[in-house]
Amino acid sequence: MTQTTVSPTQSSFPPPDEFSSAVVAMFNAVQPAIVQVGIEGRGGGTGIIWHKDGRIITNHHVVANEQARFQVHLSDGRTLEAKVLHRNPEFDLAVLKVNADNLTTLPVGDSRKLRVGEWVFAIGHPWGQRWVLTAGIVSSISSVKVADDVKPRYIKSDVGLAPGNSGGPLLDAEGKVVGINAMIFGGDLSVAIPSDVLSAWLAELPTSKRQVTLGIQIQQVELPDNIRGSLKPSRETGLLIVGIEAERQAQYSDLLVGDVLLDLAGKPVSDGATLRNLLAQSEGSKTVPMHILRGGSVVTVDVATRTVEQTA
């Protein structure tokens, strides 16, 4: 029997110093396109700048709390307010938007060409530590059933992830995004959503979206007992205004921080989703009638709205 050996000169693996230099260069190139997603002033996860106009990709579970305020922290030191444009709980994906332009983005790789054994890298903010790089190899690519008719593919690797990495990029050796780190199905291996799954979902979204907004930040609160009984229909919660955008403050004085929104056109607004749906139905109206709890009394106010174009 003939035994064949492979000499070091036959190996295609780069020398350690070349490999290290390439990883350092890759990290420096991609870092500006990776952000930390903050929730109410705390670190919550990681995001990827997907478009220079301020669209950012992250996991749905990072921004699942619809009542929370979100911020993104950039590598250049800036902190920007972020809004959720789109959600996909089944695939655990979300699109955020910040008011910025000419941002650095990442190139997108073809996850369908990934092979078991390829080097992959993750950059994120585990346990709040910012821009941490870990490396590993692709272990397998398989499907995981997350709903009756949804079985998306996932990339499993031995890249080290921890809370705070969610929503960050899984990168190939060229620094291209081949997956979105999810963690939540991980078990013993880290799990990422393939980039082609993400791209297919984004392609299905509308290219633009008109949104009616009040230009405020809200938080769900319980109503005092004496107020609950006086409302018809009765309800237990309202929406406390905790912030007002500067543009709205300059134009209108009909809403104040500390006001509690009770209803819109007679329909209770006990959560953010209901408020957005009712505002959408009011498109074309410059004002909407609202009952508001202000200073312990319920008052009726015609609240000014504005319509903005949002790019998907």
110 is catalytic: no
Rounded distance between C-alpha atoms, residue 224 and residue 285, angstroms: 31
Of 39, 195, 241, give the one whose Cα is nearest residue 125: 39
Of 170, 165, 217, give the one whose Cα is nearest residue 193: 170
Of 267, 268, 259, give the one whose Cα is nearest residue 241: 259
111, 139, 157, 166: the active-site residue: 166
60, 61, 86, 125: the active-site residue: 61
Q: Are 267 and 291 in contact (CB under 8 A)?
A: no
Dihedral angle computed from the Cα positions of residues 99, 133, 94 and 146, in that order, rounded to the nearest 10 degrees? 180
60, 86, 92, 291: the active-site residue: 92
61 is catalytic: yes
Name the token pair of 191.
């799990």
Find all residues with CB under 8 Å of 52, minimum gap 6, and list them.
101, 102, 103, 104, 105
190 is catalytic: no
Name the token pair of 55.
């669209």
Residues acting as catalytic residues: 61, 92, 166
